[in-house]
Amino acid sequence: MIIAKFIRTLYKIVMTLLAMIVVVLLILLSKLSDERGYYNLALALAYVPFFFGEKLRYYFYKYTLAQCGSKVIFKFGACCMYRDIELHDNITVGLFTMIGKCTIKDHVLLGSHVNITSGNQQHTIRVNEGDVIFTDGRRERVEIGQNVWVGNNAVILKSIAKNCVVGAGSVLTRLTEKNGIYVGNPAQRLKDIDAFQ
């Protein structure tokens, strides 16, 4: 029992140290990259498995994002698309979650396959003689407040106020008010969070 615990502890220490060494090289590489190169590097890191991958992603983002606080966990497939993302403390980013331009406050749980876009205007189209032409839109910063839980497969296009839950599969197209539960497509306020006390 004691030997098994020692081996687990030793494994975690070795993997953390190894991740820190690899991250130094990746940080240097990211400094030489443009925005597309950064995204491709972050996407490749998303697919490093196990505890080593979680540590690798954490330390990479800790030194390349605008802010990455303590106790932030990036599960397998999780990816931060831009350098100007701000992540505060105690955040779990679920499996295969994509984070666009945003600020995420303390104590946030993002389920698996969540997509936080850079607002709802990041891509636009125009029609020219019957042809649809894709044009560059504009990125807006999405803010996720403290104590928020976003369920699996949700799409977040607008900011979320503090103390909110966004249900699984919901598509949030409007700003939320604090202390609410939002579900559906488009997400609507179902009830107050206080109803559970």
Instruction: Answer yes or no: do 112 and 88 share one domain.
Output: yes
* Mean per-residue pLDDT of the chain: 91
Rounded Cα distance, 125 and 135, in Å: 6
As a dihedral over the C-alpha atoms of residue 29, residue 31, residue 36, residue 40, rounded to 10 degrees, the angle is 30
- CATH number, domain at 113? 2.160.10.10
| Averaged pLDDT, 107-129 | 88
5 with 84, same domain?
A: no
Same domain for 34 and 77, yes or no, is: no
Cis peptide before 49 (omega within 30 of 0): no
Final residue before a domain boundary, out of 42, 64, 86: 64
If one counts the domains in the chain, the total is 2
93, two tokens: 């980013």
Domain range spanning residue 18?
Answer: 1-64
How open is the CA angle 76-28-70, to the nearest 5 degrees?
A: 50
Instruction: Kindly state whether residues 92 and 1 are assigned to the same domain.
Output: no
pLDDT tens for each residue of 18-63: 878 888 888 888 888 888 899 999 999 999 998 889 989 999 999 9
57 and 72 both lie in a single domain: no
| Per-residue pLDDT reduced to its tens digit, 134-174 | 777 788 999 999 999 999 999 999 999 999 999 999 999 99
- Band of pLDDT at residue 189, cut at 50, 70 and 90: very high
50 plus 96 within the same structural domain: no
Which phi and psi angles does 111 have, rounded to 5°? Answer: -70, -175
Of the residues 11, 30, 64, which one is the last residue of a structural domain? 64
Q: Which of 64, 85, 116 is the last residue of a domain?
A: 64
Least confident of 8-12, 45-49, 82-86: 8-12
Q: Please report which residue ranges of 32-97 form alpha helices under DSSP H.
A: 35-46, 50-64
pTM as predicted: 0.87
> Nearest to residue 82, comparing CAs of 24, 137, 30, 134?
30
Mean pLDDT computed over 104-132: 88
Give exposure, 154-178, as e/b (b: 16+ Cβ within 10 Å): bbbbbbbbbbbbbbebbebeeebee
Q: Is the same domain home to 120 and 43?
A: no
